[in-house]
């Protein structure tokens, strides 16, 4: 998943980035109000972490604008402000959570995972799809107690499609959220198609993957 960290404390921002990277998040960092808005105009994110006290603007204004450009993202306010009014204002504007500084990075990760579980209605550690189960925490694909090895990007691609099941995701969306880059043309999209082909090849050894659908000219979808 792709994360934007809007935080003017550079040390903290890069600590968060390094920590989340170990859990396979893709992170962009902005240290000012202006660069935060620029990133939001250029990219779509799954999570946006916003400090309220930025040197050139208020994080609440970023939150307000971001809800329009990134309506599907989840938002966490991270700030040293303890004013109840600021907290309520952030939640009223659509923030999913509020984390006061200083905080433990494990707590941030835990809250992100809790938000994802609510957002995608995840009630079990294992997500079933066809004759397979996907363990998002352990990053495993399982068929009849047999673990199936996928590469890191193959697993990221499969799990992202599964979280958005029944929704067609374009190659642009998949490229941005999993690789962190835009697909420029059909030639550049071949690596996404190649990963899908490899996923099908590895899983079809065990059971059919008719639920992994190619939507011609658009992208891919996992059907129920």
Note the pLDDT tens digit of each residue in 98-157. Answer: 999 999 999 999 999 999 999 988 888 889 999 999 999 899 999 999 999 999 999 999
Note the pLDDT of residue 137: 87
Using 50, 70 and 90 to split pLDDT, how confident is the model at 187?
Answer: very low
Measure the CA–CA gap between 124 and 135, rounded to whole angstroms.
9
Among 6, 5, 15, which Cα is nearest to 56's? Answer: 6
Q: Is the pLDDT of residue 183 over 70?
A: no
Tokens of 102: 């200083």
42-74: per-residue pLDDT in tens? Answer: 899 999 999 998 999 999 999 999 998 899 999
Cis peptide before 102 (omega within 30 of 0): yes
Measure the CA–CA gap between 136 and 117, rounded to whole angstroms.
11
Q: Is the pLDDT of residue 185 over 70?
A: no
Report all structural domains of the chain as residue ranges with CATH numbers, in order of start. 2-119 (3.40.50.2300), 126-222 (1.10.10.10)
């Amino acid at each position: 998943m792709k994360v934007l960290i809007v935080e003017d404390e550079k040390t903290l921002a890069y600590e968060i980035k390094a920590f989340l990277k170990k859990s396979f998040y893709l992170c962009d960092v902005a240290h000012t109000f202006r660069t935060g808005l620029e990133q939001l105009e250029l990219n779509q994110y799954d999570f946006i972490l916003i400090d309220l006290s930025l040197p050139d603007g208020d994080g609440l204004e970023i939150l307000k604008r971001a809800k329009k450009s990134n309506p599907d993202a989840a938002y966490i306010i991270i700030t040293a402000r303890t004013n109840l009014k600021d907290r309520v204002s952030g939640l009223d504007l659509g923030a999913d959570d509020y984390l006061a500084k200083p905080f433990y990075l494990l707590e941030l990760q835990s809250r992100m995972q809790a938000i994802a579980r609510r957002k995608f209605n995840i009630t079990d550690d294992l997500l079933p799809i066809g004759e397979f189960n996907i363990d998002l925490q352990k990053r495993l694909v399982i068929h009849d107690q047999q673990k199936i090895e996928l590469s890191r990007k193959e697993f990221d691609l499969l799990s992202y499609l599964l979280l958005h099941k029944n929704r067609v995701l374009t190659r642009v969306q998949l490229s941005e959220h999993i690789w962190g880059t835009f697909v420029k043309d059909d030639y550049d999209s071949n690596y996404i198609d190649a990963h899908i082909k490899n996923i099908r090849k590895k899983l079809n050894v065990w059971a059919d993957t008719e639920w992994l659908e190619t939507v011609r000219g658009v992208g891919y979808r996992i059907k129920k």
